[in-house]
Structure formats: C-alpha cells, structure tokens
Amino acid sequence: MRDSLLIKAAFSEQTERPPVWMMRQAGRFMKEYWDIKNKYSFLEMCKTPEIAADVTMLPVDLLGIDGAILFSDILVTGEAMGGDLSFNAGVGPLFANPVRTQADVDALRTDVLDKLQYVGDAIKVIQQRLAGRIPLIGFAGAPFTVMSYLVEGGSSKDFKRTKLMLHNEPEMAHQLLSKIATVTADYLNMQIAAGVNAVQIFDSWAQALAWDDYKEFSHRYIAEIISKLNRKDIPVISFCKGSSVFAPLMAEAKPDVISIDWNVDLLDIKKRLPAGIAVQGNLDPHILYADKKVIKERIYRLFDRMKGENGFIFNLGHGIMPDIPFDNVKYAVEVIKEYRN
Ligand code: CP3
C-alpha cells in the first residue's frame, strides 16, 4: 500500500494525478446502502463485521475511489466508555445518559478495547475483500467532538452545554477530554494493528470554538493522540470543520495531512503550512448537486490551482449529503481519474 496514490500523496510524494476519496462515501445517497439499511439498524451494521465490510466496499465497487474508509461511526468510542447510544431516523445519534456531572465523568471507562473488538474484526474482513487494491482508512472522532455528543446527549446547533462545561468547569471538562483522548489513541492503535493503512481524526464541530478554547480543549488532545500513534508508514489525517482558520495550529500536532474545509483557497493555505504537510479537500459538497458541466469546471479549477503540488488528496470539505444524486458523485470520480498533473 505504500506505493498507492493515496498513501504517496499523504506523504507529500509525487503522483500522476490527485487521489480521490470522499467523506461519507458509503451512505444514504446510494440505493445499495438502503438495500442493506432497510434490513438492519445502523449500529447492527457497524457491529457485524461482514455487513460493515459489505458497506465499506460499496463505493469501492460502484465508484472506483482510491481509498476505502471503514464503515463505522465516531461515537462508538463514547458507547464503549459507557454511553447508551442509539441512532434514530431523522433525529441522528442519541446518548440516553448524557455526561453532565463529575460523577458521570468518573463513571466513564477507559479500558474498553475489548468492547471495540468488532471494529478490528471488520478491518480484517475488509482487507481480505480489498485484496491490496487500495488502502483502507481507519478513523476516530476527536475528543472535543465526541465530548459534545456525550454532554449534549445528541447533535446540537450551538453546543451550549458543552461550552458551558468548558467555561464554568474546565477541570471536569479536561478530565472528560483526557479520558476520551486515552481511549481514542488506544482505539486508533488497535485499528492500525488490525491492518488499516491510514487514519483520520474527525473534529467535525471544532469550528464552534474560539481560538483559545480550540487550543486548550481540542488541539492539545489531538496532539496527544497523534504523538501516541504507531504510525510507521501509516499517514495521519487531521480533519476539522474550521480548518481554514485552525490549520496552522493543527499542523503543530504533526499530522501528515490536514483536511481543509471549502472556505479557503487550498493552495494559499497549503503555502502557509510547514513543508511536508499534505492537504486534503476542499470542494464544497454542494457542487455535487449542480449540473455536470459545473462539477467538471469546479474540479478542474481546483486541480489547475494545485497543479504541480505534491501532497494533495481530493476530497470534499465535509461529507456527502444523503440527497446528492449518485450519478453526480460517480461523474466527479470519473472526471478526477481522467485528470493528469
Ligand atoms: O465516511 C464514510 O462513508 C464512513 C462512515 C462514517 C459514518 N459516520 C457513517 C454514518 C464516518 C466516517 C462517520 C463519522 C461521523 N459520525 C462524524 C464525523 C464526520 C462528519 O460528518 O463530520 C460525525 C459527526 C458522526 C456522528 C453522526 N453519525 C451523526 C451526526 C449522524 C446522523 C446524522 C447524519 O449526518 O447522518 C450519524 C449517523 C451515520 N453515520 C450515518 C452513516 C452512514 C447515517 C446512518 C443512517 O443510515 O441512518
């Protein structure tokens, strides 16, 4: 896998074209996903290695992307620590026992790898199916983003309770974040031992934080996790919404790749990062709703801007929305695979 387009680009080596994968590439925009989803709950899908492998393989077989991503969710760490997790159509993830007091924080377990063994098992099945064709990306949620679900009890627009805990009870917040960080580092090392070829850390809601708070409550724990990873030949990708602002700080945690949102010119931000850090991104996912002519123009605009740059992986600035036409996603991958640097 070291010679694959994705891993070479992640290590800032030259490739004949940018590799492509997309966040949420296995999901509700695909009819084939619904064929499986209609039979099982989302957590059953994640926890049954054969089914997780079937779903992981959908975009490999139907889209021809350059990297597979493990089918799972960032919230499985919170569940393993003691969160009572469910996913409900139209509502999203719910933790029935939110973490709001010191006693709640104290009750969370950190020795939980046995509870996540199904992920290691899924990775082994997926690697058999991939048979060396393309790399497999493992992932985990960043402590701040996972904390937000544990504290709010589900999705949130303003993260009011989470931010109140950071501001009013910083010591308790640090204990919670530190517990999640310990579990996350162990969990990603378990995924690496099971055979993933790259890992991505998702800090989806970091953009809710002020600069100082990002530094104190998010960045610091991501840096701790990255420093603990057994990363020989395994690139580490750091994603956050808000990376157009936080990227220079994210670089200090020493990831191999920073995944960039669509609010910034990708070349400009790459030039502001230390040499040797690759960028991933940064098409606005809404472009995939547009006419094919527009999709092609915008991909070429991005690629021509990045021409000659080593260390560029195509992705969206965030995940594919469930109602994006499958045909448009397939078309985008075709356009990208025809491009030559
Ligand atoms: O990218 C992939 O194809 C791999 C699988 C993957 C899922 N979730 C599957 C999923 C990955 C990498 C994730 C990460 C994840 N989960 C994040 C970080 C990425 C991001 O989008 O910022 C977050 C914040 C979550 C939490 C989560 N899981 C939410 C908020 C929801 C519900 C709302 C939504 O956007 O779907 C989920 C459920 C979920 N995770 C689904 C899928 C395919 C939908 C489940 C269904 O079919 O109902």
**What whole-number distance in Å separates Cα of residue 147 and Cα of residue 49?**
26
Sheet bearing 68-69, strands edge to edge = 68-69, 136-141, 198-203, 236-240, 257-259, 278-283, 312-316
Beta strands in the chain (DSSP E): 68-69, 85-88, 92-95, 136-141, 198-203, 236-240, 257-259, 278-283, 312-316
Number of other residues whose CB lies within 10 A of the CB of residue 211: 11
Which atom of ligand 1 has the smallest separation from the CA of 92? 32
Written as one letter, the residue type at 298 is R
- The Å distance, Cα 141 to ligand 1 centre, comes to 11
**What whole-number distance in Å separates Cα of residue 78 and Cα of residue 108?**
9
Which atom of ligand 1 has the smallest separation from the CA of 322? 36
Please name the residues in contact with 280: beta carbons below 8 A apart, sequence gap of 6 or more. 237, 239, 257, 258, 259, 260, 312, 313, 314, 315
- The Å distance, Cα 326 to ligand 1 centre, comes to 18
Instruction: Tell whether the model's pLDDT for residue 116 goes beyond 90.
Output: yes
Asked whether residue 206 is marked as a ligand-binding residue, the answer is no
- Ligand 1 pocket (Cβ < 6 Å) reads 23-28, 37, 42, 69, 71, 73-75, 87, 89, 92-93, 139, 155, 202, 204, 319
Number of other residues whose CB lies within 10 A of the CB of residue 214: 23
Please name the residues in contact with 1: beta carbons below 8 A apart, sequence gap of 6 or more. 7, 132, 135, 197, 233
Could you read off the pLDDT of 60-112 as tens digits, one per residue?
Answer: 999 999 999 999 999 999 999 999 999 998 899 999 999 999 999 999 999 99
Question: Which token pair is 285?
Answer: 């996912």
Could you read off the pLDDT of 247-267 as tens digits, one per residue?
Answer: 999 999 999 999 999 999 999
> Which residue is closest in CA terms to ligand 1's atom 25?
74
Which atom of ligand 1 has the smallest separation from the CA of 46? 9
Question: Which token pair is 338?
Answer: 């025809």
Task: Determine the Cα angle at 200 with ends 300 and 158, to 5°.
Answer: 90
Integer CA distances (angstroms), 29 to 17, 91, 323, 328, in order? 26, 18, 6, 10
Asked whether residue 27 is marked as a ligand-binding residue, the answer is yes
Supply the angle between the helices 170-194 and 143-152 in degrees, to the nearest 10: 120
Q: Can you give the CATH number for the domain in which 297 is found?
A: 3.20.20.210
Q: Which of 21, 45, 74 to mutate to test the pocket of ligand 1 (most atoms within 8 A of CB)?
A: 74
Could you read off the pLDDT of 117-156 as tens digits, one per residue?
Answer: 999 999 999 999 999 999 999 999 999 999 999 999 999 9
pLDDT mean over 159-170: 98
DSSP letter (8 states) at residue 261: -
pLDDT value at residue 90: 87
- The Å distance, Cα 309 to ligand 1 centre, comes to 31
**What whole-number distance in Å separates Cα of residue 337 and Cα of residue 148?**
37
Q: What is the average pLDDT value for the chain, to the nearest integer? A: 97
Q: Look at residue 304 and give its three-state secondary structure.
A: helix
Which atom of ligand 1 has the smallest separation from the CA of 28? 47
Phi, psi of 74, rounded to the nearest 5 degrees:
-70, -20
Question: Which token pair is 19?
Answer: 């590799």
pLDDT mean over 264-287: 98
DSSP letter (8 states) at residue 20: B
User: Which burial class, exposed, middle or buried, applies to 299 when counting CB atoms under 10 A from its CB (0-12, 13-18, 19+)?
Assistant: buried
- The Å distance, Cα 100 to ligand 1 centre, comes to 24
How long is the chain? 341
pLDDT value at residue 113: 98
pLDDT mean over 189-199: 98
Domain that holds residue 92: 5-338
Q: Which of 73, 157, 241 to mutate to test the pocket of ligand 1 (most atoms within 8 A of CB)?
A: 73
Helical spans, DSSP H, in 64-139: 76-80, 102-107, 117-130
Residue whose tokens read 């953009």: 207
* Residue 332, strand partner residues: none
> Which residue is closest in CA terms to ligand 1's atom 42?
27
pLDDT value at residue 142: 98
Percent of the chain with pLDDT over 70: 100
Q: Which of 61, 28, 67, 62 is nearest to 45 (CA)?
A: 28
How many domains does the chain fold into?
1
